[in-house]
């Protein structure tokens, strides 16, 4: 069985900028971050199955983003105020 993060080098360290906004200080490499974010995505999917309100609006998208990343990033559910380049190394 293959790991969904197999192509990702588990030893790639997070940048100091990335670590600054992390809620979980034990996360230090890309693999750990991917696994933590994947857990949040799964939990948000479970929440979505029960969600019965309007989903085509900004408020919902912010709420969903917060559900996914609340345990990972301090800025979960908020709009960015700086540019961010997401690298998939």
Taking only the tens place, the pLDDT of each residue in 57-76 is 999 999 999 999 999 999 99
CA distance 30 to 14: 6
Which ranges of 1-89 would DSSP assign to H, the alpha helix? 16-20, 30-50, 58-69
Band the pLDDT of 89: cuts 50, 70, 90.
low
Band the pLDDT of 86: cuts 50, 70, 90.
low
Q: Give the mean pLDDT of 22-29.
A: 94
Q: Residue 36 in contact with residue 72, Cβ under 8 Å? A: yes
Average pLDDT, the chain: 86
Please give the model's pTM, rounded to 2 decimal places: 0.70
| SS3 state of residue 2 | coil
The predicted pLDDT at position 59 comes to: 92
Cα distances (angstroms) measured from residue 77 to each of 2, 21, 34, 55, 74: 31, 13, 18, 15, 9
Band the pLDDT of 53: cuts 50, 70, 90.
confident
CA distance 21 to 46: 26
Say whether pLDDT at 10 is over 70: yes
């Amino acid at each position: 069985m293959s790991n969904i993060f197999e192509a990702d080098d588990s030893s790639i360290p997070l940048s100091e900028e990335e670590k600054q906004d992390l809620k979980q200080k034990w996360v230090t490499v890309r693999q750990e971050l991917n696994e933590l974010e994947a857990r949040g995505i799964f939990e948000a999917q479970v929440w979505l199955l029960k969600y019965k309100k309007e989903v085509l609006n900004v408020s919902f998208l912010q709420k969903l983003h917060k559900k996914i990343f609340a345990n990972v990033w301090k800025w979960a559910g908020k709009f960015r105020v700086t540019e961010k380049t997401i690298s998939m190394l």
